[in-house]
Amino acid sequence: MRIVEIALIAINILSLFLGFSRPSKQIWIGTAAVNLAALLLHGLVEGFRFQMFLAYGYVGLLVIYTLFKTTTRLYAKKMPKLLKGFVICLSIGCLALTSFLSYALPVFSLPQPTGDYKIGVEELHLIDENRDDPFLDKSPKKRELMVKLYYPAEEDNSKPYEPYLQSELLTLFASFFHVPAFVLGHLGLVTTDTKADLPVSGQLQQYPVILFSHGAGTSAAVHTSQYEDLASHGYIVAAIDHTFVSAGTVFPDHTVSAMEATTDFHTAEPAEIITQIMADDASFVMDELSGLNEGNGTQDVDFKGKLDLNHIGAAGHSVGGAAAYNLAIHDSRVKAAIDLDGAVYMKPGKETIIAPFLMLANDKNHIQQIKNRKPLYQDLNAVPAEEQEKLISESIYGTREAYEEAYNKARQNVIGLTEVLHESGNLFTIAGSDHMKFTDIGLFIGSNKLRNLIGIGGQTDPARCLVVTEALTRAFFDQHLKGVTEDTLNALPREYPELEKIKL
């Protein structure tokens, strides 16, 4: 909960004690005025949100009751003790509930960037004229993307900090997750450490570039903490919103939802196809960044000559991490890549030269699967015969043959991944982590029990998990994109005891 929210609840509760005495009219009026002032201060400073609605209702009812009590004969009358007790208990229960809702669904703060640079952001609307959108087979259009560039910037105290989520994106998120828009409305009150349209910092002539891809059904926005931390350390981060892979994309003149995609890829497991589409998106973005570096484009910020395109990294979460893996294998412009907890959907050839690669996997189930060289779903041969048919029927594959074919292919992909990681020596896990804790989404829920209830497990605090993830990401890219020779990567487990390097 935020400071004024706590103060408002405390004032609400203190005012309940008036019910145990017979204060003067002046005290009733003063108490109602203090409650109303706290409510207005909260709205002006922090912003109203639905989780606090019971506290707002309490203040409203207190003001109305005070007006009646001090202007009518009601003041002289005693409230029956039973009714008084009921009202006080009900009020305490309502204030306790609104306090829990405010704690469980917080207006959170992102981890503070750890670098010295201020952070700017510039939004790009890109259209790939050479590629039809593979997600739209019924009404073909050219592939459209939104990309945000987070970059080291000059300071400008006159500009405001950017909101965490656009209002349009809040609506798309709510629609995608089938919840009323007001449930997520408080996320619109979260702010970032980023400002729009700042000049690129002149401290260095050029800055290395990192392409970042989100997971399926989330958004580029849910990795903002990572973009900010990298930019504060002198990287230009191209955060790609992969249209129809994200929950929704906000274009300058319209918005689209993932649910508007029309293509059926005619496969039980489309992740392999989607991963390659995302890798193609990233390759296209690299082409566009080359033009941006030459001074082309109409954006507000001048990036001419500022992007070091000889030192490009790729990172991503979930299928976005798999896309980074694909780029490390197939696009020689990528000099280093990081996969944050994403299963992979291809196996490099024996003679393939792959860019330096790092994998950070959760310790709930993924790191164990990698160590055992097995996919994230079960081997039929390891399941009792009477349970095999149930497993097949509940899967997306439908038949034993399809299930076994998919399993064997996935196992070969995992084996290929372990060979790459054995060569690179860069396999890590964080104790108490879970898949969504490598994103900002873990911060959306303030209660660990509630996080577990909706499937975000692990005991490590989400903010701490992000801090460790960002430190690991930064150390790896410093080594391979900035040429840092100090072995900070292997020293990190001593600084962060939750972080473990795994040997294969």
Contacts of 62 (CB under 8 A, 6+ apart): 15, 31, 32, 35
- Do residues 72 and 194 share a domain? no
Q: Could you say which of 72, 104, 136 is where a domain stops?
A: 104
The CA distance from 79 to 261, in Å, is 61
- What residues in the chain have per-residue pLDDT under 70? 19-20, 74-79
Q: Per the structure, how many domains does the chain have? A: 2
Residue 79, pLDDT score: 67
* Helix or strand (DSSP H, E) at 126: strand 118-132
Structure tokens given for 247:
């929950």
Could you read off the pLDDT of 269-300 as tens digits, one per residue?
899 999 999 999 999 999 999 999 998 877 77
Q: Does one domain contain both 96 and 163?
A: no
Domain of residue 308 covers 118-501
Q: Residue 248 pairs with which residues in a beta bridge? A: 257
Q: Is residue 110 domain-resident?
A: no
Tokens of 440: 């900002």
Beta strand 142-153 pairing with 236-241: antiparallel
The reported pLDDT for the residue numbered 33 is: 95
- The packing angle between helices 53-71 and 81-104, to 10°, is 150
The 10s digit of each residue's pLDDT in 64-99 is 988 887 887 766 666 677 777 788 888 999 999 999
Examine residue 237 and state whether it is found in any structural domain, yes or no.
Answer: yes
**What are the distances in angstroms from CA 348 to CA 271, 308, 355?**
17, 27, 11
Are 83 and 201 members of one domain?
A: no
User: How many whole angstroms from its chain centre is CA 218?
Assistant: 7
45 vs 60: CA distance, rounded Å:
19
Q: Does residue 92 belong to any structural domain of this protein?
A: yes
- What letter does residue 115 receive in the DSSP assignment? S
Residues 198 and 279 in one domain: yes
The half-sphere exposure of 23 on its side-chain side, counting CA atoms within 13 A, is: 17
Classify residue 276: in a domain, yes or no. yes
Q: 348: domain CATH number?
A: 3.40.50.1820
Please identify, among 81, 104, 127, the residue that sits at the C-terminal boundary of a domain.
Answer: 104
Give the per-residue pLDDT at 162.
Answer: 96
Element (H, E) at 362: strand 357-362
CA distances from 238 to 25, 212, 292, 364 (A): 62, 6, 12, 30
Q: Are 66 and 159 in the same domain?
A: no
Rounded to whole angstroms, how far apart are CA atoms 349 and 172? 40
Same domain, 307 and 260: yes
Q: Please state, in angstroms and rounded to a whole number, the distance separating the CA atoms of residues 414 and 347.
A: 8
Measured CA to CA, the distance from residue 182 to residue 174 in angstroms comes to 8
- Predicted structure pTM score: 0.92
Each residue of 450-484: pLDDT tens digit?
898 888 999 999 999 999 999 999 999 999 999 99
d(C-alpha 108, C-alpha 225), whole Å: 12
Query: For residue 84, what pLDDT is reported?
Result: 73
Same domain membership, residue 249 and residue 164: yes
